[in-house]
Structure 1
Amino acid sequence: MNQPADYPTLTGRTAVVTGAASGMGAATARLLAANGARVALLARRTDRLAELAAKITADGGQALAVTADVTDQTSVDAAAAQIREAYGSVDLVVNSAGVMLPNPLDDGRLDEWSRMIDTNLTGVLRVIHAFTPDLTAAAAEGRSADLVNISSIASHVVFPTFAVYAATKAAVTQLSAALRSELGPRDVRVTNIEPGLTDTELSGHIDNPSLTEMVGGMFAAIPALTAEDVADLIGYTVSRRRDVNLRQLVVLPTRQA
């Protein structure tokens, strides 16, 4: 694993990262903490959060493990209260929690549709609602304030059987654009990041053997991004001068068209 990049302007910031138990969320939390931010780790898997928090602390960083489910408003609100009690106001939010459950639309997998919509879209909205007052307050005090949403190139590139997943990510992309018109005038930066093929746990969610084989073939053919690549992009983005908003970033493996 590469050493985290050096972004000294992140020192002293207070961050919330959802989906922090694995993948892009965990990598982002590690990078932010390595650069001096206090990081609240949000996810459902308590054991994974505790392990990550212990690792960050052992490396000299500050991390708070907060078990939370973004599909439950009460859980998100309780997490926000716990974070404020421990760390005070938040000035950086990274929405990384998500699920990818592809299947042909003809299969009528309402269970998967509901889970993706509630996690990938409504879950993002719940977190935004919980922490927007913190972000606007930080900006009003003259500090950098960032909302980073992780979308996907699936939001605008067609992949058969990924229709509902793509729809949730397209919604996140459009939500981010609209939020810039609301939060930008209040000096809160909103960034939407659309990664291409990335080596995370997402592909492990697939329960269709033929699709598992198809995705495996993509990984065999294309050297994928790592979670650390995306985390580094986030670190770069939120460390810019506060009057600079990198609004939308698409990051792909070199061999992915």
Structure 2
Amino acid sequence: MATSTATSQILTGTPLAGRVAVVSGASSGIGAATAQRLAGLGAKVAVLARRKDRLDALVQTIEAAGGTAVAVPVDVTDRAAVQAAADEIAERLGTVDLVFNNAGVQLISAIEELKVDDWQRQIDLNVGGVMNVIAAFLPQLTAAAADGPADLINTSSIAATRILEKFSIYSGTKAYISHLTRLLRVELGPKNVRVSAIEPGMVDTELPDHVTDADATALMAGLIRDIDVLQSDDIAETVAFIASVPRHVNLTEITILPTAQAV
């Protein structure tokens, strides 16, 4: 039986003091854990997701620990709404200099099942939502980069490079994110905006709960049962480290796997 042992915190103090961070997909899992960690390291954090009740609870948790956070309920697939959120955050917290672009969904099925609604939902959120966040916050990131560190960190997945049966559409969306990140860095690196992708393996979050395919569900449940899979705090610590290194250092692409995960 696997045990659950999250990464010990390797950062201390408030290395993110004075920074303004945005976390999308913040209502649970990796997003919620990362928002708490960034706030704990001194950043003012805006949390984005559709579920207002969860965002409000997250803000209360952050504030109870002495941090600063605001909840901005938004569906990232709505471009105008994301732009309005960006404007609101700039007004309430200041210019955003750290974006953790994390919203996504995983819907696994054999391609011949033709679950086209699931295909479209993944494309809309995993690709379209990511692009909407970039479009809304990039002007703030480039402005912030003139005076200090600025980070765009996109959540991809090991599915971007692994060949996994029935993961075709999900893997395709994550491959897009990984390669987009490489291409964005070519343009934004010279402007001193750091661009990074994290590619986690199996993380014990609610994301697998979206999976309805029996074989894929069994695969994920087996990993959680049999090995010490990643925890949301592991990813949060990695994101925090990416944002905390010296301004001239860009950790561009980090794959994070449970030690015992073979696929």
2:40 aligns to what?
A: 34
Identity of aligned residues (%): 48
2:253 aligns to what?
A: 248
Alignment of 1:105-124 (within 5 A): 105-124=111-130
1:57 aligns to what?
A: 63
How many angstroms apart in 2 are the aligned matches of 1:136 and 1:150?
A: 20
Q: Which runs of 5+ in 2 are unaligned?
A: 1-5
One of 24, 49, 69 as aligned partner of 2:30? 24
Deviates more, 1:215-224 or 1:122-131: 215-224
Question: TM-score, normalised to structure 1's length?
Answer: 0.97
1:82 aligns to what?
A: 88
> For residues 30-61 of structure 1, what are the alpha-carbon distances to aligned partners after superposition, in whole Å with 9 as ceiling and x for unaligned?
00000110000000000000000001001100
Partner-residue secondary structure (3-state), 1:70: coil
| CA-CA distance at 1:213 after TM superposition | 2.3
How many angstroms apart in 2 are the aligned matches of 1:194 and 1:111?
A: 25
| CA-CA distance at 1:8 after TM superposition | 2.6
How many angstroms apart in 2 are the aligned matches of 1:211 and 1:239?
A: 36
Q: How many residues align?
A: 256
1:202 aligns to what?
A: 207
> For residues 138-161 of structure 1, what are the alpha-carbon distances to aligned partners after superposition, in whole Å with 9 as ceiling and x for unaligned?
111x21000000100000011111
One of 210, 221, 227 as aligned partner of 1:222? 227
Deviates more, 1:105-114 or 1:1-10: 1-10
1:91 aligns to what?
A: 97
1:126 aligns to what?
A: 132
Amino acid at match of 1:75: A
Q: Verify the 8 A CA contact 1:7 1:236 in the aligned structure 2.
A: no
2:196 aligns to what?
A: 191
Relative to structure 1, is the Cα distance of residues 187 and 7 closer, same or farther in structure 2, using a 3 angstrom cutoff?
Answer: farther
> For residues 65-95 of structure 1, what are the alpha-carbon distances to aligned partners after superposition, in whole Å with 9 as ceiling and x for unaligned?
0001111112111211211110121000001
1:167 aligns to what?
A: 172
Partner-residue secondary structure (3-state), 2:104: coil
Partner-residue secondary structure (3-state), 2:48: strand
| CA-CA distance at 1:243 after TM superposition | 0.5
Partner-residue secondary structure (3-state), 2:106: coil
| CA-CA distance at 1:221 after TM superposition | 2.1
Question: TM-score, normalised to structure 2's length?
Answer: 0.94
Amino acid at match of 1:126: N
Partner-residue secondary structure (3-state), 1:10: coil
| CA-CA distance at 1:205 after TM superposition | 0.5
How many angstroms apart in 2 are the aligned matches of 1:232 and 1:214?
A: 26
Partner-residue secondary structure (3-state), 2:189: helix
1:176 aligns to what?
A: 181
Relative to structure 1, is the Cα distance of residues 66 and 3 closer, same or farther in structure 2, using a 3 angstrom cutoff?
Answer: farther
2:148 aligns to what?
A: 143
Q: Which runs of 5+ in 1 are unaligned?
A: none
> For residues 120-150 of structure 1, what are the alpha-carbon distances to aligned partners after superposition, in whole Å with 9 as ceiling and x for unaligned?
111111100101110110111x210000001
How many angstroms apart in 2 are the aligned matches of 1:3 and 1:249?
A: 18
One of 95, 106, 110 as aligned partner of 1:100? 106
Deviates more, 1:209-218 or 1:46-55: 209-218
Does residue 1:154 correspond to 2:180, yes or no?
A: no
